[in-house]
Amino acid sequence: MTFAADLAANLIAVVHIAFFLFIVGGMVAIVAAIRKPIAWVRNPWFRIAHAMAIYIVLFEEATGLQCPLNVLQWGAREVATGTTEASAGVGGLLDFLLYHTISPLALDIMYWSFGALTLLMLWIVPPRFAKRPT
């Protein structure tokens, strides 16, 4: 087992979990902004980044492409441990969180629902673009 490859796999897993939390947390904040004004939710850069994150996942899902983060993590993990998933330690916990807490069917439903909800929320909670001085 190489320490550098194991560390790389763990860092990729952390980035992957952060990406997932950005999508889910962002959607929760956008929906919450219907009732309570949350100024940063209307930031166009946030909304563009959030929509792109969701639609990248949907593109991978629709085309059958493997997630690049999965591919990188599995490659690093295989170099480190000889398998694509860690079974113990920090790596085991990260892999459990990524691959064993939500069923694939539930993920598919969530991906497509978030894709549709993103479009709807652009209309219900539109981003606010700064006005330029005339």
Any domain includes 132? no
Any domain includes 131? no
Any domain includes 129? no
- Contact indicator for 30, 125 with CB cutoff of 8 Å: yes
Kindly indicate the confidence band of residue 67, based on its pLDDT and cuts at 50, 70 and 90.
very high
Any domain includes 63? yes
Any domain includes 29? yes
Any domain includes 93? yes
User: Quick check: helix, strand or coil at residue 83?
Assistant: coil
Whether residue 11 is predicted with pLDDT greater than 80 in this model: the reply is: yes
Count of structural domains, the chain: 1
Kindly indicate the confidence band of residue 52, based on its pLDDT and cuts at 50, 70 and 90.
very high
Report the chain's mean pLDDT, rounded to a whole number: 90
Any domain includes 134? no
What pLDDT does 41 receive?
96
What pLDDT does 91 receive?
78
pTM confidence score: 0.86
Average pLDDT over every residue of 90-107: 83
Burial 117-126 (b: 16+ CB within 10 A, else e): bbeebeeebe
Task: Show the domain range for 69.
Answer: 3-124
CA dihedral 71, 74, 79, 80 (to 10 degrees): 140
Any domain includes 20? yes
* Residues 6 or more apart whose Cβ sits within 8 Å of residue 41: 29, 30, 32, 33, 47, 125
CA angle 118, 121, 124 (to 5 degrees): 165
